[in-house]
Structure 1
Amino acid sequence: MLARHRGRLAGGAGLMALTLVSAIGLLALSGWFITATGLTGLLLAAGVAARLDVYLPGGGIRTFAVTRTVARYLERLYNHDTVLRLLADLRGRLFAVVAGLDAHALAQRRASDWLNRLTADIDALDSLFLRLLAPAAVALLAILGLAGFLALWAPAAGLAAGGLLLVGWAWLVVGQARLGMAASRRQVEDREALRGRLVEQLQGLAELEAYGALDAQRRRLETLEAGLYRDQRRLGTLVALGNALSVLLVGAAALAALWLAATAWQAGALSGPLAVMMPLAVLAMSEALAGLPAAFTWLGATRGAAARLSGLRQAAGRSEATAGEPPPPGPLSVAVQGVSLHYPGAPLAALEGLSLRLEPGERLALCGASGAGKSSVAALLLRQLQPSGGEIRLGGVALPAWPEAELRRRVAALTQRIDLIDDSLSANLRLARPDAVEGELWAALAWVELAAWAEALPEGLATRVGEGGRRLSGGQARRLALARLHLLDPDLVLLDEPFAGLDAGTVARLKPRLDAWLAGRSVIFLMHQLDDGAFDPPGIDRRLTLVEGRLAGYT
C-alpha cells in the first residue's frame, strides 16, 4: 500500500527534510552571525580596521526563517492529506475483504470487533508514515549530514557529535520500541475488548438487570480499564524517559562539539564564529529527535493493528469466482452431491455426505429440528460458506464458477434474521433493486399489506426504520423483508419459515399471493416441521427431513 503512494510519500519526506534543514541552518547561521557581528564590533571599538558583510548572512537568516515556516505548513498539509488518502484506500480495500468473508470467519468475532478493525485499527496506522518511518529516516539522514558538515572544519567535532547523536537515534528507535512493545500492543487488544464488553452491556442492559448480572459485567469492565490505565502509565513513563535521554544526548553532543571546536579555535584552526556555530547546529537536532520517543514507544500498537488487518486477508474464506457462463434465465436446478460441512472447533460435522436434487420449478420443503443443518444448506447455496467436501451445482454450473453479481441477482433468501439498515423504508427496499421507481416500491409494500401503514406515516417512504429495524414490529420487519425479496425477482428462492411472526389472518391473505409469485421459480422451504395447517407454505412438491446433518427420509 505504501509503495502505491511512494511518490507522494517521498515528497512529504522531502518537505520534512527541508523543514529540518531550515531549522538547523537558521540556528547555526544566527549563531555565526551574532558572534561575527560581536567580534567585528569589538575590533572596531579597539581601533582595528575590520569589515563584515551583514547583507548576505542576514538574507540567509531570513530565507531560513521563512522557508522553515512555509515548509512546516506545507509538510503538515501535504503529509496529512497523503495519509488520509492512504487510510481511505486501505479502509475501502479491507471493507471489501470483510464483505467477502464467509459465515465461518464472520462468526469468529462480534460485529463490534469487525467495526473496530475498520475504524480504530486503521486509524492506528496514521502514525506509520507521519511519526515512525519518515521522521526516523529524516532524522538519521540529518545526523549523518550534520556530522559531515561539522567535519569540514573540525573532523573530531563532527565525529563526536555524530556518534553521540547516532547512539541517541538508535536508542529512541530501537530501545524505546522494545521497552514499550508489549504494553502498547496490549492497548490495542484491551481497547477492543473494552469496546466489545461495553456494547454488550448496553445491548443487554435489560437482561443483565433482570438476572442480577450487571454488577459482574461492570467489574469485568473495571478490570479491563485498570489494565489499560496501568499500561498507559507505564508507556507514559517510558516516553518521559525517552524525552529525557533525547535532551541529554543532544546536550552532550552539543557540549562535545563546543569543547572540540573551542580546542580547534585555541589552536588557531578555527574561527570564533564557526566555533559558536557548531554546538548551535547540534542543538537544532532536538527538533528532529523530539517526536521519536513517543512514536516508537507506541510502536507495538501500530504493529498490532497492522497484524490484525493483515490477518483479515488470511481469514477471507470466499475466493473470487472463476470465469463461468451462468445458465439462461428461468428456474434453476439444484444438485448437492456428497456435501460435508465442518465448522472449526465443532465436535461434529454440521452436514455429512448430503446429497439432494431440486428440479427447475420444483418446490422442496427441507424439514428438521434446530441444529439439523437447514441453515447450513442455505448458507452453502448462497455461497456464504464453502463446503468441506462434495460439490454443489446450480443450473448445471458449479457454484464456485458463478459470477458474484449474477449469483446475488438470481438466488435470494428470506432467513430468520432480518437485516434492515438504519435508513428509510425506500432505502431498505432498494437494497434489492437500486433502480426501482417509487411506484414499484409501493406495489411491493401493497403485496405484503404494508402500503396503507406506510401511507399513514408522516414521512411515508422516507420513514427511518431504526438500527436493525427496531422501530418496526417483528411482523412488519418480516413483511418488509418479503417485499424486498419480491422486488428482486430471483430464479431460486430460499424461504426459512416464511410466515414466522405473522398472525393467522395475515398469513391467510399472503399465502395465495406468495403461491402465485413463486410460480415458475425453484423454491426451497426451510421448516421445523409441516403440520398441514394454515401456516404451512403453499404448493410443496416434496419434503425431505434432516437429522444431525444427514437426510433421514422424504415424502
Structure 2
Amino acid sequence: MTTRRDLARWLVRHTRPLLWPLGVATAARILGDLLNVAVLLVAAGGLAEAMSGDAVALRPLAFTLIALSLTKAGLRYIEHYAGHWVAFAALQRLRELLFRSLIPQAPAATTGKASAELTARATEDIDRIEVFFAHTIPPVAASIAVPGVALSWFAAAVAPLPALLIAGPLTLALLLPFAAAPRTAAASRDELAARGEVSVHVADDAQGLREILAFDARGLRDDERRRREARVRRARLRTGRLLAARETAERLLWGAALLLVVAFAGDAQTTITAIALLAGLWLGGAGTDDFATGLDAALAACDRVRRVVDAPPAVPDSGTSDLPGEGPLTVRLDDVSFTYPGNGVQALKHVDLRIEAGGWLRLAGVSGSGKSTVAALLLRAHDVDGGRVLLDGVPVKNVPLAVLRRAVAVVEQRPVLFPGTVADNLRLARPDAADAELHEALHTAALDGAALPDGLRTPVGERGSTLSGGQLQRLALARALVARPRVLVLDESLSALDEATAHTVRARLAAMPRRPTVLEITHRVDLIPDDAPVAVIDRGTVVEQGTTSTLRNANGPFTRLSARL
C-alpha cells in the first residue's frame, strides 16, 4: 500500500523545479510565527511592569507592537504569495502530467464510465492537492522550529521550568496528527472514492438526460444518487469523528499546559510571560491540526491522481513498421480471441475476417455480440489474447500507434464534438485542411446545402447540442473523412439517419475516388443491400458470412437476426 511518505515524494519528484519559492514561504512563516510570539511577550512584559507598579513607557511599547505587527503582516503576505505561486504552478504541472499520461492509455482508459471519473480526478482531486504545497511544508517547518526557538529562549532568558511545563504537552500535541494519520488517511480515501462515484453518476445523468426523460427513469436515477450520497455522508461522518477526537485531545493538551503553567510557573510576572508564550505558540499555529486535516484529503486525492498517471499504457507503443503504400488497406483478423481486462468472459473467440483493400464489409449482430470490440482492436485500444490483427499483412502491434491511428478512423454512434464552429470540429482531424476539402467531406456526408445554413461557420454547441442526432453523426463522419483514413470503421454511426439520407451517405461514400476500406458495424440488417458482403457475429464468434441475398435465404443466424426487427 502506498504510504503518505511515498505520496509526498511522488509529488515532490514531479514538481521539484517549481518548489524553490517554498523556501521563501517557509522562512516567512517561521519568522512570522516568531513575531507573533514576540508581540504577545512584549505586551505581557508591559502588563507585568504595570502590575509591579513600575512606570510603563507606552509610546515605545506601542511603536514596538506596531512595528512587530506590520512586519508580521508583510511576512504573512510573502508566505501566502510564494506558497500559492508554487501551489498553482504545481497544479498546472500535475494536470499537464495527467493528460500526457492519458494519451498512451487512450482510448481504453478514457471511454465509457471511466471518463466521468477521470474528469473528477483532473479537476476536484488536483485542486485538493493545493493544500500540500500552500498549507503543509511551511506550517510543518514552523511547528517544529518556532516552539524550539521560543522555548529555548524562554528557558535561557526567563525561567527553565515553565518552558519544560509547556514542552511536554506541546510535544504530544505535535505528535497527535501523525499518530492518527493511518486512520484519518483511510477515512479521507473512502470519502473521496464515494465522492467520485457521485461525480460519475451525475455525469452519466447529464449525458443520458434524453433517455432518462424518455423512459421516465428520474425516480430510479434519483434513488441511486441518494444511495451514493448517503455513502459520502457516512464516510464524511467517519472522517469528522476522527478529526473531532483528535482536535479534542489536542485542546485538552493545550489546556493541561495552561494549568501546569498557572500552577507551577512561579511568581506572577513569570506566569504572565509564560501564558503569553503559550498563547503565541497556540495562536501562531504551532499545533499541527489545521494542516494535518487538509493534508489527509490532499494526499488521498494525490493517490487517486497517481494511480492514473502511473498506470501502464493499455498497449505498448513499441512498433517500428510502417504501413505499405498509400490508399486503402486490406484488413484481416486471423483467429483473434480477446477478453477485456478484469472480465472473465471472452469478448471474441477465434474470429476470422477479411476485407480486401477498398472493400466494404457489414458486420452484423445484436448488442453485446462483440461488434464494437472488433473496431477497438483495429484501432489497437487493446492487444489481442490470441491470433493477429493485420493491415496489408502487417500486424497492428508492429505499427507505431500514431501511424496506426492516422490510418484507421472510427466513427461512433455517439461522437464527441466540441464548442466552436463546424470548421473547428472538422479541422481537429487535420488542422491544415483547406476549406475545399472540408466542403468535400461535408458533401460526402450529405451535410451540405440547407443542412448547414451558415456552412463552415455554423456554430456547434457543447457536445453538439445545437445539432440533431443525424447531423451530429454526419459531422463526425465528415471529420473522419478529412483525416484521409485508409480504413474507415462505421460503428452504428448512421443509426440516427432516416433511410433515404443513410442511403445517400452510403452511395456517396461508395463513389469516392479513393475510398477507404470500410467496416460498417450495424444491427439494422434490413438496410443492407442484397449484394453486400456480410459477416454475422454472435457472442464473440463469427457464425455466418456471405452476401446479404444468400444469407437471407439460408435460414441461419442472419435470417433470425432479420426476424428480430
Q: Could you state the TM-score of these two structures normalised by the residue count of structure 1?
A: 0.81
Structure 1 residue 111, shift from structure 2 partner: 3.4
Match of 2:36 in 1: 23
Q: Could you say if the C-alpha distance between residues 355 and 199 of structure 1 is closer, same or farther in structure 2, counting changes exceeding 3 Å?
A: closer
Q: Indicate if the aligned counterparts of 1:333 and 1:394 stay in contact, CA closer than 8 A.
A: yes
Q: Indicate if the aligned counterparts of 2:102 and 2:308 stay in contact, CA closer than 8 A.
A: yes
Match of 1:419 in 2: 416
Of 371, 374, 393, the residue aligned with 1:374 is: 371
Of 276, 280, 293, the residue aligned with 1:280 is: 276
Which consecutive unaligned segments of at least 5 residues does structure 1 have?
45-51, 266-271
What secondary structure sits across from 1:433 in the alignment?
Answer: coil
Q: Indicate if the aligned counterparts of 2:319 and 2:401 stay in contact, CA closer than 8 A.
A: no
Q: Indicate if the aligned counterparts of 1:132 and 1:292 stay in contact, CA closer than 8 A.
A: no
Match of 2:116 in 1: 112
Match of 1:168 in 2: 173
Q: Could you say if the C-alpha distance between residues 104 and 73 of structure 1 is closer, same or farther in structure 2, counting changes exceeding 3 Å?
A: same
What secondary structure sits across from 1:348 in the alignment?
Answer: coil
Of 186, 192, 208, the residue aligned with 1:188 is: 192
Q: Indicate if the aligned counterparts of 1:246 and 1:286 stay in contact, CA closer than 8 A.
A: no
Q: Indicate if the aligned counterparts of 2:509 and 2:515 stay in contact, CA closer than 8 A.
A: no
Q: Distance in 2 between matches of 1:221 and 1:527?
A: 33
Q: Distance in 2 between matches of 1:516 and 1:84?
A: 54
Q: Distance in 1 between matches of 2:536 and 2:226?
A: 49
Q: Could you say if the C-alpha distance between residues 229 and 137 of structure 1 is closer, same or farther in structure 2, counting changes exceeding 3 Å?
A: same
Structure 1 residue 216, shift from structure 2 partner: 4.7
Q: Distance in 1 between matches of 2:506 and 2:230?
A: 57
Match of 1:548 in 2: 539
Structure 1 residue 121, shift from structure 2 partner: 1.8
Q: Indicate if the aligned counterparts of 1:135 and 1:288 stay in contact, CA closer than 8 A.
A: no
Q: Indicate if the aligned counterparts of 1:27 and 1:280 stay in contact, CA closer than 8 A.
A: yes
Of 386, 398, 402, the residue aligned with 1:389 is: 386
Amino acid of the structure 2 residue aligned with 1:411: V
Q: Distance in 1 between matches of 2:141 and 2:387?
A: 54
What secondary structure sits across from 2:20 in the alignment?
Answer: helix
Q: Indicate if the aligned counterparts of 2:442 and 2:475 stay in contact, CA closer than 8 A.
A: yes
Match of 1:268 in 2: none
Matches within 5 A, 1:79-94: 79-94=83-98
- Answer with 10-19 or 359-368: which moved more: 359-368
- Answer with 371-380 or 94-103: which moved more: 94-103
Of 68, 75, 79, the residue aligned with 2:72 is: 68
The C-alpha deviation readout for 1:472-501, integer Å capped at 9, x for no partner, is: 223222221221122111222223356434
What secondary structure sits across from 1:322 in the alignment?
Answer: coil
Is the aligned partner of 1:2 residue 2:2? no
Q: Distance in 1 between matches of 2:126 and 2:232?
A: 20
Match of 2:469 in 1: 474
What secondary structure sits across from 1:284 in the alignment?
Answer: helix
Give identity over the alignment, percent.
29
Q: Distance in 1 between matches of 2:262 and 2:541?
A: 85
Give the alignment's Cα RMSD to 1 decimal. Answer: 3.8
- Answer with 211-220 or 86-95: which moved more: 211-220
Q: Distance in 1 between matches of 2:105 and 2:423?
A: 27
Q: Distance in 1 between matches of 2:495 and 2:112?
A: 28
Q: Could you say if the C-alpha distance between residues 144 and 422 of structure 1 is closer, same or farther in structure 2, counting changes exceeding 3 Å?
A: same
Amino acid of the structure 1 residue aligned with 2:27: G
Structure 1 residue 161, shift from structure 2 partner: 1.6
Structure 1 residue 294, shift from structure 2 partner: 4.7
Matches within 5 A, 1:336-415: 336-415=333-412
Structure 1 residue 309, shift from structure 2 partner: 2.1
What secondary structure sits across from 1:546 in the alignment?
Answer: strand
Q: Could you say if the C-alpha distance between residues 294 and 185 of structure 1 is closer, same or farther in structure 2, counting changes exceeding 3 Å?
A: farther
What secondary structure sits across from 2:389 in the alignment?
Answer: strand
What secondary structure sits across from 1:434 in the alignment?
Answer: coil
Q: Distance in 2 between matches of 1:122 and 1:299?
A: 13
What secondary structure sits across from 2:336 in the alignment?
Answer: strand
What secondary structure sits across from 1:285 in the alignment?
Answer: helix
The C-alpha deviation readout for 1:319-368, integer Å capped at 9, x for no partner, is: 45126242355033444444321124545311123344555444444444
Q: Distance in 2 between matches of 1:357 and 1:393?
A: 9
Q: Could you say if the C-alpha distance between residues 396 and 201 of structure 1 is closer, same or farther in structure 2, counting changes exceeding 3 Å?
A: closer
Of 114, 131, 143, the residue aligned with 1:127 is: 131
What secondary structure sits across from 2:460 in the alignment?
Answer: coil
Q: Could you say if the C-alpha distance between residues 29 and 230 of structure 1 is closer, same or farther in structure 2, counting changes exceeding 3 Å?
A: same
Amino acid of the structure 2 residue aligned with 1:101: Q
Match of 1:496 in 2: 491
Matches within 5 A, 1:435-474: 435-453=432-450, 456-457=453-454, 460-474=455-469
Amino acid of the structure 2 residue aligned with 1:10: G
Is the aligned partner of 1:434 residue 2:439? no
What secondary structure sits across from 1:353 in the alignment?
Answer: strand
Which consecutive unaligned segments of at least 5 residues does structure 2 have?
1-10, 547-565
Match of 1:269 in 2: none
- Answer with 1-10 or 13-22: which moved more: 1-10
Structure 1 residue 126, shift from structure 2 partner: 2.0
Q: Could you say if the C-alpha distance between residues 328 and 138 of structure 1 is closer, same or farther in structure 2, counting changes exceeding 3 Å?
A: farther
Q: Distance in 2 between matches of 1:553 and 1:18?
A: 80
Amino acid of the structure 1 residue aligned with 2:517: S
Amino acid of the structure 2 residue aligned with 1:122: I
Q: Indicate if the aligned counterparts of 2:174 and 2:287 stay in contact, CA closer than 8 A.
A: no
Q: Distance in 2 between matches of 1:399 and 1:134?
A: 52
Matches within 5 A, 1:222-237: 222-229=226-233, 232=236, 235-236=239-240
Larger radius of gyration: 1
Q: Could you say if the C-alpha distance between residues 145 and 403 of structure 1 is closer, same or farther in structure 2, counting changes exceeding 3 Å?
A: farther
Match of 1:48 in 2: none
Amino acid of the structure 1 residue aligned with 2:509: L
Q: Distance in 2 between matches of 1:411 and 1:239?
A: 54
Q: Could you say if the C-alpha distance between residues 405 and 545 of structure 1 is closer, same or farther in structure 2, counting changes exceeding 3 Å?
A: same
The C-alpha deviation readout for 1:55-79, integer Å capped at 9, x for no partner, is: 7x88765543222101111211221
Structure 1 residue 306, shift from structure 2 partner: 2.6
Of 37, 41, 45, the residue aligned with 1:32 is: 45
Q: Indicate if the aligned counterparts of 2:30 and 2:141 stay in contact, CA closer than 8 A.
A: no
Is the aligned partner of 1:304 residue 2:314? no
- Answer with 420-429 or 372-381: which moved more: 420-429
Q: Distance in 2 between matches of 1:179 and 1:545?
A: 54
- Paired residues, what number? 531
Q: Could you say if the C-alpha distance between residues 294 and 18 of structure 1 is closer, same or farther in structure 2, counting changes exceeding 3 Å?
A: closer
- Answer with 239-248 or 397-406: which moved more: 239-248
Match of 1:516 in 2: 511
The C-alpha deviation readout for 1:141-177, integer Å capped at 9, x for no partner, is: 32233332223243333333222211111124433x4
Amino acid of the structure 2 residue aligned with 1:76: H
The C-alpha deviation readout for 1:410-458, integer Å capped at 9, x for no partner, is: 221223332223433222212212223444433432333323225524x
